[in-house]
A and B are shown apart, each in its own frame.
Chain A
Amino acid sequence: MNPALTGFIFLLLIATAVSACLMKDILSSVIALSVFGVLLSIVFSILQAPDVALTQAVINSGMITSIFLVAYSQTMKVRSGEDNTRVIKTYYPFRTDEMVILFICIGLGFFLWKGIVPMGFSSLSGDAANHYINFAGVETGASNIVAAVLFDYRGFDTLGEIAVIFTTVTGISILFEGSRYHRSSSGLSFIVRRSMAFVIPLIILYASSIVLMGHLSPGGGFQGGTVLATASICFCVVYGSSFEAARIHPWIKETLESTGCLFFAGLGLIGLCTGAGFLANGAAGFPLGTQGTFISGGSIPLLNMAVGMKVGAGLSSLFYSMVKILEAPFEGIPGEVE
């Protein structure tokens, strides 16, 4: 790629991060953080990492921004009638203690740079990486080497990652314990409802395709599960969260999440039962198939489906538990269905 264009994109990245730091309004900082996430995903594509770019765009720039906005709407009070978009206030004339911290941060950056220079700017490929590149197609049958590493060679780490998501969802559900069906926001207008009724099935189709083709092209369980959770968030925002609770009852989400987790552990136990290790793929007798076709990869598509179920159900119940305790929509104008 043209070095000038790449340098420009990196400069935009730094400018977005600095503006997320310096702006006084929290909402502007959150939106700047979301733009930073999208630009970082573009940089990952430039650095030849399509899997990571997809994950970054979906999770960090889609999911986290919506959770930030939910937390913001529950804590910050905005006076109605005020249009404060004309003037952008920043923190720029720093106070004395902030100048000291600024010098400390610049010093930290200087020493980090001095630590990186002797490492050299060439690539560091070890024996493990060379083995995975050369033998991933033969030993696992998958076309996506990163999926093979995540679900076959380092499958136990993925089990730990699922445990982290489970703990987070449990923790947030405990923090927002309360009555179950408050009447929260009444949703958006008629135009948005009818149009989203056309769009949401396509989102679910897209999520399923990401999950099922995780072993052939960039994608997988985590990305597809998050897009599924995005469809559920659309339900919450567009139709109101009591509608969403009536259509997809919360115990369905809990059952789906636990089923995904048990499915993952069960596939690992099959490996134990046949004599190979826990979470073994080819050695446990899963049919590896021809590489490049849909039926290939052994247990990798099944593990992708388990992870997709778990992440999708978990993240959507996380969002629902943060949204269900919202108070009345806004002061003055009563909630209505138009």
Chain B
Amino acid sequence: MNGPVVRLISFSLMTLGVFFSLASAIGIVRFPDVYTRLHAGTKALTGGALFILFGAALQCGSWQAAAKILLIAGFFLVTNPIATHAIARACYRHGILPEPAHLDHYGKTLKRRDLK
């Protein structure tokens, strides 16, 4: 798996991944609110990390190493959105509201549970 075409594909995948991670980092610094920063921190970052890991898996010497890297990619794909969900929920229950908030279904659900 070390021909020039394979190396070209893997390097271009890794460059794409680096671009996504850089965009996510700039987004976390420049966005105005916690919730928008979480968007930047999850969607772009997961995609960037997956591209980099796929590019690295294409260049491995043995299939065991490539399988390990793909397992890492799967684990990252599962756990990063869970963590973002937990952070966003904790932010809401702490009292930080996104502004401007037009629809607030979660708040209505909590109030209905309190009134029961």
Contact = CB atoms under 8 A, between A and B. Distances in A.
> A–B direct touch, CB within 8 Å, in complex?
yes
Interface of A: 78, 80-83, 85-86, 188-189, 191-192, 195-196, 198-199, 202, 330, 333-334, 336
A80 B75 contact: no
A241 B4 CA distance: 54
Given A83-B96, A85-B37, 20 more contacts: A78-B94, A80-B95, A81-B96, A83-B33, A83-B34, A188-B86, A188-B89, A189-B86, A191-B85, A192-B82, A192-B85, A192-B86, A195-B82, A196-B82, A198-B78, A199-B78, A199-B79, A333-B93, A334-B114, A336-B113
Contacts of A198: 78
Nearest to A203: B75
Interface in B32-54: 32-34, 37
Interface string B3-43: 00000000000000000000000000000111001000000
B115 interface: no
24 contacts: A78-B94, A81-B95, A81-B96, A82-B96, A83-B33, A83-B34, A85-B34, A86-B32, A188-B89, A189-B85, A189-B89, A191-B82, A191-B85, A192-B82, A192-B85, A192-B86, A196-B82, A198-B78, A199-B79, A202-B75, A333-B93, A333-B110, A333-B114, A334-B114
Nearest to A194: B82
Interface of B: 32-34, 37, 75, 78-79, 82, 85-86, 89, 93-96, 110, 113-114
Nearest to A332: B95
Contacts of B86: 188-189, 192
A257 to B, nearest CB: 28
Report, nearest first, the 4 A-B pairs whose CB atoms are least far apart: A81-B95, A80-B95, A195-B82, A83-B96
Contacts of B89: 188-189
A86 B75 CA distance: 32
A38 to B, nearest CB: 14
Contacts of A199: 75, 78-79
A81 B98 CA distance: 11
Nearest to A334: B114
A258 B12 CA distance: 53
Contacts of A191: 82, 85
